[in-house]
């Protein structure tokens, strides 16, 4: 479920203390004879502390308080001018910023903080081992957490599952993505923006899979994929002792295992709909994908699977809120309920 908005309370403590006590004044000091005092002699008169004699606290007499003095008996807290910096309801469109939750500060914008499941559906033309898979549908399932500052959203996104389905009935090509592929993929840190009316946009985000992330340029889209498994940029993300990510291919009578590196991008447009637990976000996606086969046990698959977006096919994405304690396991188990087949 989405994070609940945090309520604010302000407590003003007013503490007043102290009273005045009086008692008889006893002068026990011996006054010297005036004849014993010369011009050069200074005598002090001892001051009897009335309160010390009565056990009461030592408070100054009101007559001793000047206009600038502070009466210690008055400890009432008076707000200072720092409250002038707070935003008024008019300035925040009626919403008070939630200073206790820096991850959820929507202000006047639609609130989209919290935990989500997301599905992307890509339609592509693909070619594997010389065979044309005229139409392939790629369905990717994500588990996401969104943080928000006004109209800006920071997204931590983990790919949970990938399915590639051949939609051409007579074509034998099947590309099988083992769960180890999705499990090996790293957390993605995306950014998006929404408008006051709920319009959503995510600029192109690039993924370089099984590639050392520390060597990527400022614009990852300009990076060229390595072609050899011995290239120092290549990493073994699925930990099967072979550089690259494992993908299984079934092409009729020809089966094989490939290890690939991959470069893909996604750009999203959409709309925020509703509020609370039933809130959804959905729209269209433009994506790109390129793969390089680093090694294979079947020479027919050396060319890899080259995917090209098919503009007329469904290229969409959709999001739904999920409980905060859900992991990829729960997202995958509830995938068909969250995102019924189109």
For position 335, what pLDDT does the model report?
97
Which residue spans within 78-219 are E strands per DSSP? 104-105, 114-128, 131-149, 152-166, 173-176, 188-194, 199-209
Bridge partners of 319?
Answer: 118, 281
Domain boundaries, the chain: 104-338
Mean pLDDT, the chain, as a whole number? 78
> Predicted confidence band at 229 (pLDDT cuts at 50, 70, 90)?
very high
* pLDDT tens by residue, 77-111: 444 444 444 344 444 444 444 457 999 999 999 99
Mean pLDDT of all residues in 136-148: 95
For position 128, what pLDDT does the model report?
62
What's the start-to-end Cα distance of the chain, in Å?
Answer: 24
- Percent pLDDT > 70 in the chain is 67
* pLDDT tens by residue, 235-270: 999 999 999 999 998 877 778 899 999 999 999 999
DSSP 96: -
Q: What pTM was computed for the model?
A: 0.70
**Closest C-alpha to 64, from 73, 75, 54, 55:** 73
Whether residue 262 contacts residue 197, with contact meaning beta carbons closer than 8 Å, is answered with: no
* pLDDT tens by residue, 282-338: 999 999 999 899 999 988 888 766 677 787 778 999 999 999 999 999 999 999 999
DSSP 228: S
- Cα 162 to Cα 127: distance, rounded to the nearest angstrom: 18
- Cα 180 to Cα 134: distance, rounded to the nearest angstrom: 27
Name the strand (E) or helix (H) holding 53: helix 50-54
């Amino acid at each position: 479920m989405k994070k609940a908005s945090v309520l604010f309370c302000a407590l003003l403590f007013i503490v007043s203390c102290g009273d005045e006590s009086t008692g008889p004044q006893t002068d026990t000091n011996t006054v010297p004879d005036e004849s014993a005092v010369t011009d050069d002699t200074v005598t002090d008169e001892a001051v009897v502390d009335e309160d010390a004699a009565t056990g009461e606290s030592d408070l100054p007499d009101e007559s001793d308080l000047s206009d600038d003095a502070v009466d210690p008996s008055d400890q009432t807290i008076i707000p200072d001018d720092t409250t002038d910096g707070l935003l008024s309801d008019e300035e925040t469109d009626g919403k008070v910023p939630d200073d206790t939750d820096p991850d959820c500060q929507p202000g006047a914008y639609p609130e989209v903080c919290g935990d989500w499941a997301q599905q992307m559906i890509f339609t592509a033309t693909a070619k594997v081992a010389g065979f044309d898979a005229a139409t392939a549908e790629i369905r990717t399932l994500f588990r996401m957490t969104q943080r928000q500052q006004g109209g800006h959203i920071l997204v931590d996104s983990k790919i949970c599952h990938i399915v590639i389905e051949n939609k051409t009935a007579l074509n034998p090509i099947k590309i099988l993505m083992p769960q180890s592929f999705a499990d090996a993929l790293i957390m993605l840190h995306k950014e998006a923006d929404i408008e006051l009316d709920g319009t959503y946009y995510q600029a192109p985000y690039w993924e370089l899979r099984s590639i050392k992330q520390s060597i990527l340029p400022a614009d990852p889209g300009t990076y060229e994929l390595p072609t050899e498994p011995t290239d120092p940029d290549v990493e073994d993300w699925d930990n099967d002792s072979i550089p690259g990510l494992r993908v299984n291919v079934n092409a009729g009578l020809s089966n094989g295992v490939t290890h690939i590196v991959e470069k893909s991008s996604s750009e999203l447009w959409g709309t925020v709909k509703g509020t609370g637990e039933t809130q959804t976000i959905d729209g269209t996606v433009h994506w790109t994908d390129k793969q390089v086969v680093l090694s294979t046990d079947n020479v027919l698959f050396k060319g890899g699977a080259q995917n090209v977006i098919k503009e007329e096919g469904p290229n969409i994405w959709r999001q739904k809120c999920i409980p905060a304690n859900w992991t990829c396991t729960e997202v995958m188990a509830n995938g068909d309920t969250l995102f019924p087949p189109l």
